[in-house]
Homo-oligomer: A and B are copies of this chain.
Amino acid sequence: MATVDLKRLAKELGLAVSTVSRALRDSYEISAETKERVFELARKLNYQPNPYASSLRKHKSRTIAVVIPEIANNFFALAINGIESIAQEKGYHVLIYLTHEQYEKEVAITRHLQSGRVDGILVSLSGETTNYDHLVDLKQKGIPIVFFDRIAESINSPKVITNDYESGYKAAEHLIQSGCRRIAYLSISNNLSISNKRMQGYLEALEDHRIKHDPKLAIQCSIHDNEENYKTVIALLKRKNRPDAIFASVERLAIASYHACEELNLSIPGDIRIISFSNLETAALLNPSLTTITQPAFEIGKEAASILFKILEKKSMTFSEERIILNSKLIVRKSTAQ
Protein backbone atom coordinates (compact mmCIF):
# COMPACT_ATOMS: atom_id res chain seq x y z
CA MET A 1 0.00 0.00 0.00
CA ALA A 2 2.02 2.94 -1.30
CA THR A 3 1.58 6.16 0.59
CA VAL A 4 -0.95 8.40 -1.00
CA ASP A 5 0.54 11.80 -1.64
CA LEU A 6 -0.15 14.60 -4.06
CA LYS A 7 1.89 12.93 -6.76
CA ARG A 8 -0.20 9.82 -6.50
CA LEU A 9 -3.45 11.75 -6.77
CA ALA A 10 -2.10 13.79 -9.66
CA LYS A 11 -1.10 10.72 -11.59
CA GLU A 12 -4.40 8.94 -11.13
CA LEU A 13 -6.30 12.02 -12.21
CA GLY A 14 -4.02 12.94 -15.08
CA LEU A 15 -3.37 16.33 -13.50
CA ALA A 16 -0.29 18.19 -12.35
CA VAL A 17 0.72 18.04 -8.72
CA SER A 18 0.30 21.76 -8.36
CA THR A 19 -3.25 21.61 -9.67
CA VAL A 20 -4.17 18.97 -7.16
CA SER A 21 -2.56 20.95 -4.39
CA ARG A 22 -4.53 24.02 -5.32
CA ALA A 23 -7.76 22.12 -5.70
CA LEU A 24 -7.41 20.67 -2.23
CA ARG A 25 -6.81 24.09 -0.80
CA ASP A 26 -9.96 25.19 -2.59
CA SER A 27 -8.14 27.78 -4.65
CA TYR A 28 -10.28 30.12 -6.72
CA GLU A 29 -8.29 29.43 -9.85
CA ILE A 30 -9.40 25.83 -10.12
CA SER A 31 -12.62 24.85 -11.89
CA ALA A 32 -15.42 23.46 -9.82
CA GLU A 33 -15.41 20.31 -11.85
CA THR A 34 -11.72 19.60 -11.25
CA LYS A 35 -12.07 20.33 -7.57
CA GLU A 36 -14.88 17.83 -7.39
CA ARG A 37 -12.82 15.10 -9.02
CA VAL A 38 -9.84 15.82 -6.78
CA PHE A 39 -11.87 15.85 -3.60
CA GLU A 40 -13.55 12.63 -4.54
CA LEU A 41 -10.36 10.75 -5.15
CA ALA A 42 -8.74 12.22 -2.08
CA ARG A 43 -11.63 11.01 0.00
CA LYS A 44 -11.63 7.65 -1.66
CA LEU A 45 -7.92 7.07 -1.08
CA ASN A 46 -8.08 8.67 2.34
CA TYR A 47 -5.44 11.20 1.44
CA GLN A 48 -3.75 12.74 4.47
CA PRO A 49 -1.41 15.60 3.67
CA ASN A 50 2.03 15.25 5.18
CA PRO A 51 2.03 17.89 7.91
CA TYR A 52 5.80 18.13 8.01
CA ALA A 53 6.17 18.87 4.35
CA SER A 54 3.52 21.50 4.68
CA SER A 55 5.06 23.00 7.79
CA LEU A 56 8.47 23.10 6.22
CA ARG A 57 7.12 24.87 3.23
CA LYS A 58 4.87 27.33 5.03
CA HIS A 59 6.85 27.93 8.19
CA LYS A 60 3.71 27.24 10.15
CA SER A 61 2.89 24.12 12.06
CA ARG A 62 -0.64 24.63 13.36
CA THR A 63 0.79 23.45 16.63
CA ILE A 64 1.10 25.18 19.97
CA ALA A 65 3.00 24.27 23.09
CA VAL A 66 1.68 24.35 26.62
CA VAL A 67 4.47 24.77 29.14
CA ILE A 68 3.35 24.21 32.72
CA PRO A 69 4.94 23.29 36.03
CA GLU A 70 2.90 20.17 36.69
CA ILE A 71 -0.20 18.35 35.57
CA ALA A 72 -1.25 16.19 38.49
CA ASN A 73 -3.08 19.14 39.82
CA ASN A 74 -6.65 20.03 39.21
CA PHE A 75 -5.98 23.56 38.15
CA PHE A 76 -3.63 22.68 35.31
CA ALA A 77 -5.60 19.63 34.24
CA LEU A 78 -8.69 21.80 33.87
CA ALA A 79 -6.74 24.52 32.10
CA ILE A 80 -5.45 22.02 29.55
CA ASN A 81 -8.97 20.85 29.04
CA GLY A 82 -9.93 24.40 28.13
CA ILE A 83 -6.94 24.84 25.89
CA GLU A 84 -7.49 21.59 24.07
CA SER A 85 -11.14 22.32 23.47
CA ILE A 86 -10.32 25.55 21.67
CA ALA A 87 -7.39 24.02 19.83
CA GLN A 88 -9.50 21.17 18.52
CA GLU A 89 -12.09 23.60 17.32
CA LYS A 90 -9.50 25.68 15.48
CA GLY A 91 -7.67 22.68 14.05
CA TYR A 92 -4.52 23.15 16.10
CA HIS A 93 -2.38 20.54 17.80
CA VAL A 94 -1.25 20.75 21.40
CA LEU A 95 2.16 19.75 22.67
CA ILE A 96 2.55 19.36 26.42
CA TYR A 97 5.75 20.14 28.30
CA LEU A 98 6.17 19.91 32.07
CA THR A 99 8.84 21.90 33.84
CA HIS A 100 8.29 20.13 37.16
CA GLU A 101 8.79 23.54 38.72
CA GLN A 102 12.39 23.62 37.51
CA TYR A 103 13.92 26.67 35.92
CA GLU A 104 16.47 24.50 34.13
CA LYS A 105 13.77 22.50 32.42
CA GLU A 106 11.82 25.59 31.53
CA VAL A 107 14.89 27.00 29.83
CA ALA A 108 15.66 23.74 28.02
CA ILE A 109 12.09 23.45 26.79
CA THR A 110 11.76 27.02 25.60
CA ARG A 111 15.16 26.90 23.99
CA HIS A 112 14.12 23.86 22.07
CA LEU A 113 10.96 25.64 21.03
CA GLN A 114 13.04 28.22 19.21
CA SER A 115 13.33 25.65 16.45
CA GLY A 116 9.98 26.69 15.09
CA ARG A 117 8.29 23.50 16.16
CA VAL A 118 5.31 25.50 17.34
CA ASP A 119 3.54 28.64 16.19
CA GLY A 120 2.97 29.94 19.69
CA ILE A 121 3.12 28.97 23.31
CA LEU A 122 1.04 29.14 26.46
CA VAL A 123 3.10 29.43 29.61
CA SER A 124 2.59 29.24 33.32
CA LEU A 125 5.93 29.82 34.99
CA SER A 126 7.87 27.44 37.17
CA GLY A 127 8.27 28.43 40.78
CA GLU A 128 12.02 28.67 40.39
CA THR A 129 11.98 31.13 37.55
CA THR A 130 13.26 34.61 38.24
CA ASN A 131 15.00 35.35 34.97
CA TYR A 132 12.88 35.62 31.84
CA ASP A 133 15.51 35.83 29.12
CA HIS A 134 14.56 32.49 27.67
CA LEU A 135 11.07 33.79 27.09
CA VAL A 136 12.25 37.07 25.69
CA ASP A 137 14.38 35.12 23.23
CA LEU A 138 11.33 33.24 22.07
CA LYS A 139 9.39 36.41 21.53
CA GLN A 140 12.26 37.85 19.55
CA LYS A 141 12.22 34.81 17.32
CA GLY A 142 8.66 35.82 16.52
CA ILE A 143 6.92 33.17 18.55
CA PRO A 144 3.96 34.64 20.41
CA ILE A 145 3.59 33.86 24.09
CA VAL A 146 0.47 34.04 26.18
CA PHE A 147 0.89 33.73 29.94
CA PHE A 148 -1.73 32.32 32.21
CA ASP A 149 -1.94 32.29 35.98
CA ARG A 150 1.76 32.41 36.75
CA ILE A 151 2.85 35.31 34.64
CA ALA A 152 5.99 37.32 33.99
CA GLU A 153 4.92 40.89 34.68
CA SER A 154 7.86 42.40 32.86
CA ILE A 155 7.21 40.70 29.54
CA ASN A 156 4.92 42.52 27.23
CA SER A 157 2.66 39.63 26.23
CA PRO A 158 -1.00 38.87 26.86
CA LYS A 159 -1.75 37.53 30.30
CA VAL A 160 -4.75 35.70 31.65
CA ILE A 161 -4.95 35.78 35.41
CA THR A 162 -7.37 35.78 38.29
CA ASN A 163 -8.03 38.45 40.87
CA ASP A 164 -5.40 37.13 43.23
CA TYR A 165 -5.07 40.18 45.39
CA GLU A 166 -8.79 40.48 46.01
CA SER A 167 -9.14 36.76 46.58
CA GLY A 168 -6.32 36.76 49.07
CA TYR A 169 -7.97 39.65 50.83
CA LYS A 170 -11.36 37.96 50.93
CA ALA A 171 -9.93 34.69 52.10
CA ALA A 172 -8.13 36.33 54.99
CA GLU A 173 -11.16 38.41 55.81
CA HIS A 174 -13.31 35.34 55.88
CA LEU A 175 -10.99 33.77 58.41
CA ILE A 176 -10.94 36.91 60.49
CA GLN A 177 -14.70 37.10 60.50
CA SER A 178 -14.77 33.50 61.62
CA GLY A 179 -12.86 34.59 64.66
CA CYS A 180 -9.32 33.72 63.65
CA ARG A 181 -6.52 35.99 64.77
CA ARG A 182 -3.34 34.05 64.19
CA ILE A 183 -3.52 33.22 60.51
CA ALA A 184 -0.56 31.50 58.91
CA TYR A 185 0.13 32.07 55.22
CA LEU A 186 1.84 29.33 53.26
CA SER A 187 3.67 30.69 50.25
CA ILE A 188 4.81 28.34 47.53
CA SER A 189 7.46 30.62 46.07
CA ASN A 190 8.14 34.27 46.38
CA ASN A 191 9.13 34.26 42.73
CA LEU A 192 5.55 33.70 41.71
CA SER A 193 3.19 36.54 40.95
CA ILE A 194 0.24 34.59 42.24
CA SER A 195 1.77 33.74 45.57
CA ASN A 196 2.87 37.31 46.18
CA LYS A 197 -0.39 38.93 45.24
CA ARG A 198 -2.37 36.55 47.34
CA MET A 199 -0.14 37.38 50.23
CA GLN A 200 -0.52 41.10 49.67
CA GLY A 201 -4.27 40.67 49.91
CA TYR A 202 -3.85 38.69 53.08
CA LEU A 203 -1.61 41.33 54.65
CA GLU A 204 -3.94 44.12 53.67
CA ALA A 205 -6.91 42.34 55.19
CA LEU A 206 -5.05 41.89 58.45
CA GLU A 207 -4.16 45.52 58.51
CA ASP A 208 -7.66 46.70 57.70
CA HIS A 209 -8.93 44.64 60.59
CA ARG A 210 -6.27 45.93 62.95
CA ILE A 211 -4.56 42.62 63.35
CA LYS A 212 -0.84 42.83 63.79
CA HIS A 213 0.89 40.58 61.34
CA ASP A 214 3.36 38.16 62.88
CA PRO A 215 6.15 37.59 60.31
CA LYS A 216 6.68 34.14 61.74
CA LEU A 217 3.30 33.19 60.35
CA ALA A 218 4.26 33.91 56.75
CA ILE A 219 5.94 30.73 55.76
CA GLN A 220 8.02 30.05 52.70
CA CYS A 221 7.43 26.46 51.63
CA SER A 222 9.33 24.27 49.25
CA ILE A 223 8.36 24.25 45.64
CA HIS A 224 9.54 20.70 45.11
CA ASP A 225 9.43 18.72 48.28
CA ASN A 226 5.92 17.97 49.47
CA GLU A 227 7.24 15.79 52.24
CA GLU A 228 9.19 18.70 53.58
CA ASN A 229 6.15 20.94 53.40
CA TYR A 230 4.19 18.40 55.35
CA LYS A 231 6.84 18.51 58.05
CA THR A 232 6.88 22.28 57.97
CA VAL A 233 3.17 22.40 58.65
CA ILE A 234 3.50 19.81 61.40
CA ALA A 235 6.14 21.97 63.04
CA LEU A 236 3.96 25.02 62.59
CA LEU A 237 1.04 23.31 64.28
CA LYS A 238 3.20 22.16 67.15
CA ARG A 239 4.39 25.63 68.10
CA LYS A 240 3.43 26.75 71.59
CA ASN A 241 1.59 29.61 70.04
CA ARG A 242 -0.26 27.61 67.43
CA PRO A 243 -1.98 29.47 64.62
CA ASP A 244 -5.74 29.26 64.56
CA ALA A 245 -5.93 29.23 60.79
CA ILE A 246 -3.91 28.32 57.73
CA PHE A 247 -4.19 30.06 54.41
CA ALA A 248 -2.61 27.87 51.72
CA SER A 249 -1.62 29.70 48.56
CA VAL A 250 -1.81 26.68 46.28
CA GLU A 251 -3.38 23.26 46.08
CA ARG A 252 -0.30 21.30 47.06
CA LEU A 253 0.11 23.25 50.26
CA ALA A 254 -3.53 22.71 51.12
CA ILE A 255 -2.99 18.98 50.76
CA ALA A 256 0.11 19.08 52.94
CA SER A 257 -1.91 20.96 55.55
CA TYR A 258 -4.74 18.45 55.53
CA HIS A 259 -2.23 15.66 55.96
CA ALA A 260 -0.60 17.42 58.86
CA CYS A 261 -3.91 18.01 60.61
CA GLU A 262 -4.81 14.40 60.23
CA GLU A 263 -1.49 13.30 61.63
CA LEU A 264 -1.87 15.56 64.64
CA ASN A 265 -5.54 14.71 65.09
CA LEU A 266 -6.54 18.30 64.74
CA SER A 267 -10.11 18.77 63.63
CA ILE A 268 -11.01 21.19 60.90
CA PRO A 269 -12.48 23.69 61.58
CA GLY A 270 -12.76 22.91 65.26
CA ASP A 271 -9.10 23.13 66.13
CA ILE A 272 -7.94 25.00 63.11
CA ARG A 273 -9.45 26.54 60.04
CA ILE A 274 -7.94 25.97 56.63
CA ILE A 275 -8.63 27.97 53.55
CA SER A 276 -6.87 27.39 50.30
CA PHE A 277 -6.59 28.20 46.67
CA SER A 278 -7.50 24.94 45.04
CA ASN A 279 -9.71 23.24 42.54
CA LEU A 280 -10.31 20.22 44.72
CA GLU A 281 -14.06 20.22 44.24
CA THR A 282 -14.41 16.62 45.20
CA ALA A 283 -12.43 17.01 48.37
CA ALA A 284 -14.49 20.02 49.27
CA LEU A 285 -17.66 18.13 48.52
CA LEU A 286 -16.67 15.44 50.94
CA ASN A 287 -15.44 17.54 53.74
CA PRO A 288 -17.71 20.32 54.88
CA SER A 289 -14.87 21.86 56.80
CA LEU A 290 -13.16 23.05 53.66
CA THR A 291 -13.30 26.54 52.41
CA THR A 292 -11.67 27.08 49.07
CA ILE A 293 -10.91 29.80 46.63
CA THR A 294 -11.56 28.15 43.34
CA GLN A 295 -10.15 29.50 40.12
CA PRO A 296 -12.08 29.21 36.88
CA ALA A 297 -9.36 26.97 35.45
CA PHE A 298 -11.21 25.74 32.40
CA GLU A 299 -12.13 29.28 31.40
CA ILE A 300 -8.59 30.48 31.96
CA GLY A 301 -7.34 27.81 29.58
CA LYS A 302 -9.95 28.67 27.00
CA GLU A 303 -9.31 32.36 27.26
CA ALA A 304 -5.56 32.02 26.97
CA ALA A 305 -5.85 29.73 23.97
CA SER A 306 -8.36 32.03 22.29
CA ILE A 307 -6.04 34.98 22.59
CA LEU A 308 -3.14 33.01 21.21
CA PHE A 309 -5.11 31.83 18.21
CA LYS A 310 -6.31 35.33 17.53
CA ILE A 311 -2.71 36.46 17.39
CA LEU A 312 -1.70 33.56 15.21
CA GLU A 313 -4.49 34.09 12.77
CA LYS A 314 -4.27 37.81 12.50
CA LYS A 315 -0.53 37.50 12.44
CA SER A 316 -0.42 40.60 14.54
CA MET A 317 0.96 41.23 17.98
CA THR A 318 -1.44 44.02 18.74
CA PHE A 319 -2.85 42.05 21.63
CA SER A 320 0.38 42.41 23.52
CA GLU A 321 -1.03 44.67 26.15
CA GLU A 322 -4.03 42.55 26.78
CA ARG A 323 -4.61 41.44 30.34
CA ILE A 324 -7.66 39.38 31.11
CA ILE A 325 -8.68 39.08 34.71
CA LEU A 326 -11.13 36.37 35.65
CA ASN A 327 -12.61 36.01 39.09
CA SER A 328 -12.00 33.21 41.51
CA LYS A 329 -14.78 32.15 43.80
CA LEU A 330 -14.66 31.88 47.53
CA ILE A 331 -16.57 28.71 48.23
CA VAL A 332 -17.82 28.43 51.78
CA ARG A 333 -19.63 25.25 52.67
CA LYS A 334 -22.97 25.54 54.44
CA SER A 335 -21.85 23.36 57.27
CA THR A 336 -18.73 25.42 57.70
CA ALA A 337 -20.60 28.66 58.00
CA GLN A 338 -22.64 27.19 60.81
Residues on A lying within 8 angstroms of B by beta carbon are 1, 46, 48-53, 55-56, 61, 63, 70-74, 77-78, 80-81, 84-85, 88, 93-98, 105, 111-112, 114-117, 140, 255, 258-259, 262, 280, 282-283, 285-287, 290, 298
| Docked-complex contact A285 and B48, CB < 8 angstroms | no
| Docked-complex contact B77 and A115, CB < 8 angstroms | no
Question: Measured between alpha carbons, how far is A216 from B314 in the docked complex, in Å?
Answer: 57
The residue of chain B having its C-beta at the shortest distance from the C-beta of A108 within the complex is B88
Query: In the assembled complex, how far is the CB of residue A143 from the closest CB belonging to chain B, in whole angstroms?
Result: 11
| Docked-complex contact B116 and A51, CB < 8 angstroms | yes
- 3 smallest CB-CB distances across A and B, nearest first, come from A48-B115, A286-B287, A52-B55
What B residues does A52 contact at CB under 8 A? Answer: 52, 55-56, 61, 116-117
The residue of chain B having its C-beta at the shortest distance from the C-beta of A117 within the complex is B51
What B residues does A81 contact at CB under 8 A? Answer: 70-72, 98
Query: Which of B70, B114, B285 contacts A259 (CB under 8 A)?
Result: B285
The residue of chain B having its C-beta at the shortest distance from the C-beta of A65 within the complex is B93
Query: In the assembled complex, how far is the CB of residue A57 from the closest CB belonging to chain B, in whole angstroms?
Result: 9
Query: Which of B78, B117, B140, B286 contacts A283 (CB under 8 A)?
Result: B286
Question: Measured between alpha carbons, how far is A209 from B287 in the docked complex, in Å?
Answer: 34
The residue of chain B having its C-beta at the shortest distance from the C-beta of A82 within the complex is B72
Query: Which of B63, B71, B88, B262 contacts A285 (CB under 8 A)?
Result: B262
| Docked-complex contact A114 and B84, CB < 8 angstroms | no
What B residues does A285 contact at CB under 8 A? Answer: 255, 258-259, 262, 283
What B residues does A96 contact at CB under 8 A? Answer: 80, 84, 94-96
| Docked-complex contact A98 and B112, CB < 8 angstroms | no
The residue of chain B having its C-beta at the shortest distance from the C-beta of A105 within the complex is B88
What B residues does A117 contact at CB under 8 A? Answer: 51-52, 93
Question: Measured between alpha carbons, how far is A140 from B117 in the docked complex, in Å?
Answer: 27
What B residues does A111 contact at CB under 8 A? Answer: 46, 48
Q: Can you add 11 more A-B contacts, CB < 8 Å, to A63-B95, A71-B84?
A: A48-B116, A50-B56, A52-B52, A56-B56, A72-B78, A81-B98, A84-B96, A85-B98, A255-B282, A282-B282, A283-B285
Query: Which of B56, B98, B105, B259 contacts A53 (CB under 8 A)?
Result: B56
What B residues does A112 contact at CB under 8 A? Answer: 48
Question: Measured between alpha carbons, how far is A112 from B280 in the docked complex, in Å?
Answer: 35
